[in-house]
Amino acid sequence: MAILEILEYPDQRLRTVAKPVTEFDNRIHRIVDDMFETMYDAPGIGLAASQVDIHERIITIDVSEEKTEPLVFINPEITVLEGEMETMQEGCLSVPGFYEDVTRVEHCLVKAFDRNGDAFEMECRGLLAVCIQHEIDHLEGKLMVDYISPLKRNRIKDKLEKKHKLEARQGKR
């Protein structure tokens, strides 16, 4: 297993729409394992393959406190959205250090495949529902910052670009 580099906003590769997975083979298993290692190391509760420059429809999630409930969603589709809209502070491994209020539906049904290609459906509520919607957005090339005002988005972009330039000068990127 390996820890992968997480792309950071405003990297344009984050805007790439991911393609469906068509073969569930050892390559996919390796990607899933590497994504979990990367997500836990970051540390985060969700990671889309797009965030690690793999533009395939793969998501890893673990919203448990103990990090003992890993979930894999391949080619996920939200098939039913219902319930109340909920505003939560969201963070993102691709927008490090920033947390913003984002409003999403608090209850959804997700249809996907597991790492072996077996289809399943999962009813998601609360944090899990928010997380799956956030990660599916990544697969569509959409980011958390797209939900906030242009002024806030530009401030975040400027701060992260400054950070990236500093890291490049220090040889960290």
Is 92 a known ligand-binding residue? Answer: yes
Q: For this structure, is 135 an active site residue?
A: yes
Hey, what amino acid is at 37?
E
Q: Which residues pair with 92 in a beta bridge?
A: 95
pLDDT at 173: 59
pTM (two decimals) = 0.94
Helix-then-strand count for the chain, H and E = 3, 5
pLDDT tens track for 6-62: 999 999 999 999 999 999 999 999 999 999 999 999 999 999 999 999 999 999 999
Question: Could you give all domains of the chain from N- to C-terminal order, each with its CATH number?
Answer: 10-169 (3.90.45.10)
Residue of 86, 135, 161, 167 marked catalytic: 135
- % helix, strand, coil for the chain, step of 5: 35, 35, 30
Is 131 a known ligand-binding residue? Answer: no
Three-state SS at 23: coil
pLDDT at 82 > cutoff 90: no
Full DSSP string of 55-91: -BSEEEE---TTS---EEEEEEEEEEEEEEEEEEEEE
Considering the chain, what percentage of its residues have pLDDT values greater than 70? 98
Query: Two tokens at 47?
Result: 């990671």
Q: What number of residues does the chain have? A: 173
